[in-house]
Chain A
Amino acid sequence: MSQDNILLRVEKLTKHFPITRGIVIQKQVGAVQAVDKVSFFVREGETLGLVGESGCGKSTTGRTILQLYRPTSGKVYFRDQDLTQLEGEDLRHMRRNMQIIFQDPYASLNPRMSVGDIVAEPLEVHRIGTRKEQRERVKELLNLVGLNPYFINRYPHEFSGGQRQRIGIARALALNPEFIVCDEPISALDVSIQAQVVNLLEELQEQFGLTYLFIAHDLSMVRHISNRIAVMYLGKVVELAERNELYANPLHPYTQALLSAVPVPDPVVERQRQRIILQGDVPSPVNPPAGCRFHPRCPLAQEICSQEEPEWREIAPDHWVACHLV
């Protein structure tokens, strides 16, 4: 695969949340290293899946890319524009190109606003069209996400989780963005609704040429929708590859462990499936292990793993991994 048409490039992106102590005179006593020197890119029109256990920094990565959190260090290039350098009006203007869909369909809609006002907010903020044109556009958007435009005056509490998620999608689409961070958009939904929402996202992607960063906490959820998949562990992206390549040829021990937990539909293969059970718990991101962050739990860990941080390398075309043994 070529490296052209790169829409978004993340370079050594780092987000540490400071932990402070003291009342008036504050001292920083540590930091939650939620995301640490993460690098990857997203091609135009593709879906990059981002997978990892809860708390490994996926949401922080998504929000830092969108500059909802300002990064501690590192760069985020959208086309050739460095988002981390943008401030004020420039950043506000840039936000039209990138949006986010949230995990919790209940927390992501203001309960005091009607559906019409929620979906129209991006248009109002960017002063697009008259009040009447905005309402027309909202109806069009509701239609687009499979909701009856007749619902425009309703309030979020009158909708089911899946319907609310559609409202959130309509809001994200209002400004015609090119790039959308989907932060576990289906994790909180009933299994029966999940497929519908994924299908909707795929249809919209096709229709508008959208680019997604699709976050999920297990591999089975992203397999269907992603072109490429990045695996995250404790603030680091440890492996990134084209979807089929990742499933067929996982190189990082953590990816292998994750994959071993995914049930296989084929009963013969399923019976032979050997689960790799990882020892211990995920360490705290406040004091992550030195060297390879995975080394205390890695079944293959060597001496060097606790001393040196493995390099993030492209081991084969479009297959990236950070492990000393690969």
Chain B
Amino acid sequence: MAVAELPQEQTLVRKQRSLWEESFIRLIRNKVAVVSLLFVFVLAFVAAFANYVAPYDYAEQDLMANNSVPKWMLVILPANAENYVRITDKYPLGADHLGRDILSRVIYGARVSLSFAVVASMVSLIIGTLYGTISGYVGGRADDVMMRIVDFLYAFPFLVVVILLQTYFKALGRASGMTGFGAKLLEINDSMGGMLFLFIAIGLINWIGMARIARGQVLSYKRKEFVEAAHAVGASNSRIIIKHLLPNIIGPLVVAETLAIPGYIFTEAFLSFIGLGVNPPTPSWGIMISEAVPALRSYPNQVLVPAVFLSLTTLAFNFLGDGLRDALDPRMKQ
């Protein structure tokens, strides 16, 4: 059997690359995705080291400088702002109505938004992938029952439940002097600035979509011949799931999860905006916007700054998700 009997020159000159490496190369060739990735990295870095990066503490008040604005910012304020606004360059993006540095609060707010995004996406990715993979792999009646449960949960108004629960814990819980498990939960929730229930809620809502995607992916792969080949050599089910199914299905799941992150960030901002998110003085972009809205006409900068960060972060995750999709599966493009 001569090696040369097949036209192999083509493959001899090409460098060996796994599909992951090829995807990575496609991703870094996508300028928008790279810029988005950099933005997310920088934001994550700043958020992680907020204590060092932020010029002030997020709760530090300087009442002599409340609603102050640096000189350059006058351009985005109303024309008559010079008549009522305090101008000081002490705070690079101005101070809020309690005299807290807006830049520092935006930085600490990034911590809330990003950790929320990370935890929520991890929770839903892990639960959804596990559930969907098992459902699709086992198949048959178990699959039917598991998917019926998912359909039921999908129709369940979790956001409403979350709002009710948050309202209960925030108002009634404290007043009625709750004891036992409820009090414990409340304590943990407080120590996290009021985010525990949000994490749970968002995780619970979003794993359902992931489970459906994971199941669909597993169904499309489990009858593939390479999976049958693994069965034929006697590979165990866990080996087949870990070595053959997960590496093939994880790409679309990560893409879907990345594209879901803006939704998580918005949900947190929304809940904080209506007073059901994190507890003041913990800053989140939603709370900052909500607190600044009453004085929107006079100090639009106080809304604009967190809003811009919110939008940029959302955009970055969207572009990143699109870039990942194109990179992971070039066939899906167009």
Contacts and interface: CB of A to CB of B under 8 A. Distances in A.
Interface of A: 23-24, 26, 63, 66, 68, 91-93, 95-96, 99-100, 102-104, 107-114, 121-122, 125-126, 144-148, 151, 153-155, 157-160, 162-163, 168, 171, 174-175, 193, 196, 200, 203
Nearest to B21: A155
B247 interface: yes
Contact of B141 (A26, A95, A108): A26
Given A95-B234, A125-B233, A155 B141 contact: no
A110 B224 CA distance: 9
B144 A125 contact: no
Given A155-B16, A171-B233, 4 more contacts: A100-B228, A112-B248, A160-B6, A168-B229
Nearest to A146: B1
Contacts of A200: 1
B2 A112 contact: no
Contact of B225 (A102, A148, A196): A102
B1 A26 contact: no
B1 A109 contact: no
Interface of B: 1-3, 5-8, 11, 14, 16-20, 141, 144-145, 148, 224-226, 228-236, 239, 243-244, 247-248
A63 B231 CA distance: 11
A157 B235 contact: no
A104 B1 contact: no
A158 B16 contact: yes
Contacts of A109: 226
B144 A26 contact: yes
A157 B14 CA distance: 12
Contacts of A157: 19
Contact of A68 (B3, B232, B239): B232
Contacts of B230: 110, 121, 125
A171 B144 CA distance: 35
Given A100-B228, A109-B226, A155 B19 contact: yes
Nearest to A66: B232
Contact of B234 (A92, A112, A113, A114): A92
B228 A63 contact: yes
